[in-house]
């Protein structure tokens, strides 16, 4: 009987795949990077065919490297960059335009007009989100308004919209399935958080025809089966789908109210499990669906910082301070602290809890004694500090302190960054043995959907701890450091 799970993790800079066994062991993991397209300042696009090609390449290599037969795969799980927006032809599946990436800021003026028109309270109440270019709804509107003939084709039901999960589901099933899961749908500005359905008023407000929208389904359960995929046999069920950050929360086994995780990727994304009821945020976070399973919906508070690991990439590619991203930790360790240097990595605006798309990155406190080591250290400190802002806001909304923070993502391998995070947050940070928890979450969901596991407790037993970082900084030092950080943020 097939007993392996294939997890597809389609991210911002590349597509990854992993094969996991029923004991939670990762047999293989592969990644293929693809082009980042920047047509204008503030615009970010992906070619959907690049996404699909790299998914196929990663899947093929992952299966071969794992040493298993493709026919031994019991189920497929998908996790994905979330708000990235695609429109494609229903008949042939051809993309109507490049995908508009979640980082893209081209719809800032649309959001500003909607705010000025007094619609922000309505959007916040129905969706749990804020009016920001980050989310999918205004991106759909831009495509329909700017690609010649697209709106007319949409009205004729010739065009399909989807976030990346829906696009992959369509491709993996030979065009048979047009669906998304509830966690991805909750990031569009178009779904009502309580009904878990597309909201006609919101669709009308953003000028999105409802007929182009995918069907919303629970995160765990069968979505469809593979058909015509070059590297996979027909008939493999796809039984788990979730947005990358919700998948990471699941992959960290944060199943109880008050459990939190932070993913250190291109951006940093903190999620806090709030249980069966959505908790409105009054502190600048957003309310989102974490997952839906067995008829039960779990909600979360989320805070997103648009630039995290991308700040290290900027030090490498933009300034030439380091030759590779892996060098930043050793360079930062050359100094005991950043001196007076503060780096606010608002290179794509400020996300939660500020929501200032007009903000720009800032480096303050430079002196003649400042070195590239101080700058590297300040970059790591800024990455950690912005997460303190996110998590502190969530604690205020939930009305309780978090006792620990589970950490994951590529930059979580940086021991100095993790120690800084524990120090500035004032709680222990727990790193799992598998830091690619987005893939793990997709695999766990798919395994549950396929019956390889039967409960959250079984998944929790599969999850394994690698290292715990205990806070070492005094409360007085922490308070002073955070005060200097807030002063730097006010200058962006």
Q: Any idea where the domains of the chain sit in the sequence?
A: 4-245
The verdict on whether omega for the bond into residue 245 sits within 30 degrees of 0, i.e. cis, is: no
Q: Which residues contact 87 (CB under 8 A, 6 or more apart)?
A: 95, 96, 97, 140, 143, 144, 147, 150, 154, 159, 160, 161, 212
pLDDT along the chain (492 residues), means of 10: 88 93 88 92 94 96 90 94 95 94 92 94 93 94 96 94 97 96 97 96 96 97 95 95 95 92 89 92 91 94 86 87 86 90 86 82 88 91 92 90 90 93 95 87 95 87 89 89 86 79
CA-to-CA distance for 456 and 223, rounded, in angstroms? 20
Q: Which residues contact 110 (CB under 8 A, 6 or more apart)?
A: 133, 138, 141, 142
pLDDT at 410: 84
Answer for the pair 12, 438: CB distance below 8 angstroms, yes or no. no
Distances (CA, A) of 445 to 78, 176, 348, 455: 9, 22, 32, 10
The superfamily (CATH) of domain 4-245 is: ATPase, nucleotide binding domain (3.30.420.40)
User: Among candidates 195, 187, 206, 200, which has minimal Cα distance to 129?
Assistant: 187
Residue 403 tokens, joined: 């006792």
pLDDT at 334: 92
CA-to-CA distance for 480 and 81, rounded, in angstroms? 36
Distance between terminal CA atoms of the chain?
57
Phi, psi of 86 (to 5 degrees): -130, 145
A 10 A CB-CB count for 212 gives 22
pLDDT at 325: 85
Radius of gyration of the chain (CA): 21
Q: In the Cβ-directed half-sphere of 100, how many Cα atoms lie within 13 Å?
A: 28
pLDDT at 25: 85
pLDDT at 1: 60
pLDDT at 335: 92
pLDDT at 351: 79
CA-to-CA distance for 488 and 379, rounded, in angstroms? 13
């Amino acid at each position: 009987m097939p007993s392996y799970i294939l997890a597809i993790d389609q991210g911002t800079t590349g597509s990854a795949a992993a094969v996991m066994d029923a004991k939670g062991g990762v047999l293989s993991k592969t990644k293929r990077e693809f082009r980042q397209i920047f047509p204008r300042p503030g615009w970010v696009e992906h070619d959907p065919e690049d996404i699909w090609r790299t998914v196929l390449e990663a899947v093929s290599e992952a299966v071969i490297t794992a040493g298993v037969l493709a026919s031994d795969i019991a189920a497929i799980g998908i996790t994905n960059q979330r708000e990235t927006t695609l429109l494609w032809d229903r008949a042939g599946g051809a993309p109507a335009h490049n995908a508009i990436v979640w980082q893209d800021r081209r719809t800032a003026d649309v959001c500003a007009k909607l705010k000025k028109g007094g619609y922000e309270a309505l959007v916040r109440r129905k969706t749990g989100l804020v009016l920001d270019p980050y989310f999918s709804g205004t991106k759909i509107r831009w495509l329909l308004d700017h690609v010649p003939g697209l709106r007319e084709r949409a009205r004729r039901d010739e065009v399909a919209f989807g976030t990346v999960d829906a696009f992959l589901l369509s491709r993996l099933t030979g065009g048979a399935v047009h669906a998304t899961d509830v966690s991805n749908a909750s990031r569009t500005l178009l779904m009502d958080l309580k009904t878990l359905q597309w909201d006609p008023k919101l669709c009308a407000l953003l000028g999105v025809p409802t007929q182009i929208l995918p069907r919303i389904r629970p995160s765990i359960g069968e979505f469809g089966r593979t058909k015509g995929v070059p590297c996979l046999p027909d008939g493999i069920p796809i039984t788990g789908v979730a947005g990358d950050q919700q998948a990471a929360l699941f992959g960290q086994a944060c199943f109880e109210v008050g459990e939190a995780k932070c993913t250190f990727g291109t951006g940093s994304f903190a999620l806090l499990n709030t249980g069966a009821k959505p908790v409105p945020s009054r502190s600048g976070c957003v309310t989102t669906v974490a997952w839906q399973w067995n008829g039960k919906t779990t909600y979360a508070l989320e805070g997103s910082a648009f630039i995290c690991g991308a700040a290290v990439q900027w030090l490498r590619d933009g300034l030439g301070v380091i030759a590779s991203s892996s060098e930043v930790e050793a360079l930062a360790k050359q100094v005991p602290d950043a001196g007076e240097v503060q780096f606010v990595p608002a290179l794509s605006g400020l996300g939660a809890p500020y929501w200032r798309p007009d903000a720009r990155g800032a480096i303050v406190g430079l002196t003649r004694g400042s070195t590239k080591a101080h700058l590297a250290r300040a970059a790591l400190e800024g990455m950690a500090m912005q997460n303190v802002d996110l998590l502190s806001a969530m604690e205020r909304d939930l009305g309780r302190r978090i006792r620990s923070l589970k950490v994951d993502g590529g930059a979580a391998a940086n021991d100095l960054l993790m120690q800084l995070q524990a120090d500035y947050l004032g709680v222990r940070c727990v790193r799992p043995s598998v830091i690619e928890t987005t893939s793990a979450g997709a695999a766990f969901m798919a395994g549950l959907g396929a019956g390889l596991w039967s409960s959250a407790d079984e998944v929790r037993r599969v999850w394994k701890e690698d290292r715990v970082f205990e806070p070492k900084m005094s409360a007085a030092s922490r308070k002073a450091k955070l005060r200097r950080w807030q002063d730097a943020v006010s200058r962006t």
